[in-house]
Amino acid sequence: AAGVIQSPRHLIKEKRETATLKCYPIPRHDTVYWYQQGPGQDPQFLISFYEKMQSDKGSIPDRFSAQQFSDYHSELNMSSLELGDSALYFCASRPGTGMINYGYTFGSGTRLTVV
């Protein structure tokens, strides 16, 4: 079965650079979520999209932006990178927006290291 695909798997950037993370949801999943998991931390919700519109926003820095495209894939753009942005970034997808009765499907994540 198709899963959530994230690219790249690993990314190394220098401070003040820009990074773009991509997420390809499961086919027919129209909702995408982004989470950030710092070292030894729980996943923190960043932002979500439903039908190409932002549906909810969490603790996402102003330096970050994201969007969902017509094919439902999503990109997380991160600018002016800081050392503290080093983390595992997860994308998850699901169909619809109602009560989550089966959990999300997560991708394997993109590990971003800022040096």
Q: Which residues bind other proteins (CB under 8 A)?
A: 33, 41-45, 48, 50, 55-56, 58, 90, 92, 97-109, 111
We find the least distance from the C-beta atom of residue 90 to other proteins, in angstroms, to be: 6
By C-beta, is 84 or 98 nearer to other proteins?
98
By C-beta, is 81 or 109 nearer to other proteins?
109
Residue 105 to residues 5, 17, 33, 98: CA-CA distances in angstroms? Answer: 10, 30, 10, 15
Peptide bond into 95 cis (omega under 30): no
What is the DSSP track for 84-113?
GG-EEEEEEEESSSS--SS--EE---EEEE
We find the least distance from the C-beta atom of residue 84 to other proteins, in angstroms, to be: 18
How many residues are there in the chain?
115
By C-beta, is 19 or 107 nearer to other proteins?
107
We find the least distance from the C-beta atom of residue 32 to other proteins, in angstroms, to be: 11
